[in-house]
Amino acid sequence: MQKNILSDAIAFRESFLSEASSTNADRDYGAVLRVLLFYIWRGCFLSRTSGITGKVDPNAALISLSAYEATLGVLKNIRIGYQADATILARALMERIAIVGYLGENQNLIQRYWDGKWAPYKEALAWAKKKPLPNWMILYGALSGVVHSRLTGPAGHINNQTKIGNVFREVKHQDSSNNIGISEELLGFIVYSLAALDPLALALIQDNTTQPFPTDPSFAFYLGIDDVKEYRDFLQRLIRRYEKPSKNQS
């Protein structure tokens, strides 16, 4: 019997990975992809279930679901090597996460938003400035600098010497021995996004029992210990690269 990707994390993961043949990202970051896909599936599953069962307003459930689906879209572009597209979608994802958080605290506005009678972007971003993860607006500003390149024109970002053009020209076949490149940075962004999104989405769908990313004892049923270790090493590598040097370091 074929497993349902909506209710089975492994079927969801295999469906996602089968959409394209094996990629460099699969080779270099396979464990990271598997960890992230589990939590994206979980967010989709919990959001969908909360709406179907009538636990929350179906519109609230769909808003939560759409944020996880947007995360999946960024991850897909990272996997197949479209780093520039992933970067553009990453900025939009941050806006969507801010909307999830704002509407979670102002659920009386959900129907107006759903009916297209109110655009919450200004209010949501103002909210995010006060209640983000550390460096939220710094990251959002950096992504905005890529999306809104000063040199414009039809497909100009491919040829012009702009930030987004540089991303398009990034060499995809990197030396996997050092694991340094834009794909790794973008995967780190997905980790950051899930850490921001999960507690906000759980609040929006009024789920007080599920532990937010990255804590969930059920993940052990879907991921092996080797994946967990490799994922941990990935995070430690990113932290070491960007941590501030101590005063004792020259």
Tens digit of each residue's pLDDT (9 = 90 or more) over 99-135: 999 999 999 999 999 988 888 889 999 999 887 677 8
Cα separation values, 230 from 16, 80, 216, Å:
20, 21, 17
Of the candidates 27, 43, 48, the residue with the CA atom closest to the CA atom of residue 213: 43
pLDDT exceeding 90 applies to what percent of the chain? 48
- When mean pLDDT is compared over 21-30, 56-65, 218-227, the highest value belongs to 56-65
Q: Whole-angstrom Cα distance, residue 51 to residue 216?
A: 22
Look up the pTM and report it: 0.84
**What is the pLDDT at residue 248?**
57
Tokens of 38: 């589990």
Helix (H, G, I), strand (E, B) or coil at 181: coil
**What is the pLDDT at residue 150?**
56
pLDDT band (50, 70, 90) for residue 159: low
Tokens of 146: 């890529």
Q: Is 71 exposed, middle or buried (0-12, 13-18, 19+ CB in 10 A)?
A: buried
**Helical H segments across the chain, by residue range:** 9-17, 24-52, 58-79, 83-105, 110-114, 121-130, 136-147, 156-159, 163-168, 182-204, 225-242
Integer Rg of the chain from CA: 19
Calculate mean pLDDT across residues 33-50: 95
pLDDT band (50, 70, 90) for residue 167: low
What type of residue is 140?
Answer: Y
Q: Is residue 38 over pLDDT 90? A: yes
**What is the pLDDT at residue 172?**
47
